[in-house]
Amino acid sequence: MLGLMQNWPLTVDKILDHANRWYSGREVVSRSVEGPIVRTNYADIHNRAKRLSNALLGMGIKTGDRVATLAWNTGRHIEAWYGIMGIGAVCHTLNPRLFPEQLVYIINHAEDRIIFTDLTFLPVLEGIIDQCPTVEHIVVLTDESELKNVTLRCKGKPCLAMESLIDQHHAEVVWGGFDENTAAGLCYTSGTTGNPKGVLYSHRSNYLHTLVGLQTDVLGLSARDVILPVVPMFHANAWGIAFAAPAVGSKLVMPGSKMDGQSIFELLETEGVTFSAAVPTVWQMLLQHLQSTNSKLTTLKRVVIGGSACPEAIIRAFGDDYGVDVTHAWGMTETSPLGTISRPTADVEALGPDEVIPFKLKQGRAPVGIELKLTNDEGRELPHDGTTFGRLKIRGATIASAYFKQEGGNILDEEGFFDTGDVSTIDQYGFMQITDRAKDVIKSGGEWISSIEIENIAAGHPKSALAAVIGIAHPKWDERPLLLVKLREGQTSTKEEYLAYLEGKIAKWWTPDDVVFVDDIPLGATGKIDKKILRQQFESYRLPTA
């Protein structure tokens, strides 16, 4: 027997329809690529997205066609998103931080027909567009006057101004009407090993992910919030915020291309931001700006940090000095991306403020709709005791079941779990903690050393700008840790100072065999430390203990 409830397809166009109907005047503020602050609202975004849908239909775009965006976080980018998805086309977000050859591979693999881009990225496209035969048009997120000031060499591909396209069409267009399992978005992994792989989100998965994110113990957004998503829209749907904010009528503040500490602080204060989300490096820059200028945060209450592990120093500084609650989150492209979030349970909160900090440093617990397990290399499930390391596996309605075009073959185990590639522990309260990527864990004398845990502590040293730990070959122990430190400008330090700082904070046998001070630590396309490059740079490095 089936239930007698309405069949109401969960398609993301309904989210913007809802925002238009009930929160039409709620502001969306953008720092435009051209410079000025631009103010609009959900009603205007809804109208312009529908007109853009008509433009796409006029250009021959059909259900399932891939339309790419190469753009910063702005109101225009949101209009492109909903304009593409509303008619059943697939919005493919391109990451501008990828190497040109990776962009070429991704565009061709996705068979993108149109690319929406900002003025910033026209030089990138001009350098690769002749290698992308499926691309028919480039639409620049600007008006005709700005386009005239740009020398375009797009090698036969028509370059159109988004404003001209919108002006030529009306807003009478049918959104939705297709199956909720229709593809809505396409995002490629950062490709640290082999070619990037495409994760194909459905309307249903994005809609359910929105509902997961809105839970109080996840992002907990409301109509009273003013949200600054510093996390880019090309990073797994800006962690779902571009769907969640209009779903509840939150004011959106879009940072555009300026994400330095001073620019972020300016938007936080002038727009009254209450909630923000970004990777740790952004919050490190903001913290340095606050400290150097003796500034205060007057409206910001909550921050979600993800993308890589957050140092304790950042969590404590924002909480103790600025009254901002920092919540750690974990996810990946394949998880839409929210997988876990480190909000305390009643039992954990009862332990007291200082006792809660170790839990805030963990990646957190799974919300409803997400299932986790730990296994060994043979697939045997491991206990949740907070100390046993295992391969982290995940399943749920917002988790990938395969890669686009079946790249990589079957990616699920016999129970339908996806192997994240992370090595983790899960404690008795359900809090998961990433100890390393499987390829980054340091194997020393048959035991595992967490490079991430050492990095987080070293990054908390007051002289540190960035810290990284990699495994170096050792004749006796197989591998031993090497600590690499990029110091803050004007600082000097010694190996002994850093080893003394680590003493008592990690197991003695985890202590790095050497400390090297470097001019820079490379970051990958998603803002994480690129250990593949570091391992190449230090491939022939000889430890003093060897």
C-alpha span between 42 and 28 (Å, rounded): 7
Bin 521: left if φ > 0, else alpha if -120 < ψ < 50, else beta. beta
Q: Which of 163, 334, 455, 479 is catalytic?
A: 334
Q: Of the residues 93, 182, 189, 420, which is catalytic?
A: 189
Q: E strand or H helix at 253, and its extent? A: strand 251-254
CB 330 within 8 A of CB 434: yes
Q: Give me the catalytic one of 296, 405, 439, 443.
A: 443
In terms of phi and psi (left: phi > 0; alpha: psi -120 to 50; beta: otherwise), the region of 348 is alpha
Catalytic site residue from 134, 146, 266, 448:
448
Q: How many Cα atoms are found within 13 Å in the side-chain-facing hemisphere of 321?
A: 13
The answer to whether 356 and 342 have CB atoms below 8 angstroms apart is no
CA distances to 112, 142, 160, 398 from 136, rounded to whole Å, are: 8, 19, 11, 32
User: Is 443 part of the annotated catalytic residue set?
Assistant: yes
Q: Are 381 and 424 in contact (CB under 8 A)?
A: no
In sequence order, which ranges of 98-225 are alpha helices (DSSP H)?
100-110, 122-128, 144-148, 162-167, 203-213
334 is a catalytic site residue = yes
Query: What residues have CB less than 8 Å from 160, skipping those under 6 apart?
Result: 137, 138, 139, 140
Smallest CA-to-CA distance from 310 within 297, 329, 332, 286 is with 329
Give the whole-angstrom CA distance, residue 116 versus residue 74.
Answer: 13
**Distance in angstroms (rounded) separating the CA atoms of residues 163 and 141:** 7
The one-character DSSP state at 386 is S
Which residues does 356 contact at the CB level (< 8 Å), separation at least 6?
344, 348, 349
Q: Which residue has the tokens 């030089």?
A: 123
Beta bridge partners of residue 93, listed in sequence order = 69, 187
Q: Does 293 qualify as catalytic in the annotation?
A: no
Nearest CA-CA partner of 214 in 369, 429, 332, 435: 369
Alpha-carbon distance of 30 to 63, in angstroms, equals: 30
Q: Is 477 annotated as catalytic?
A: no
Which residues are known to be catalytic?
189, 334, 443, 448
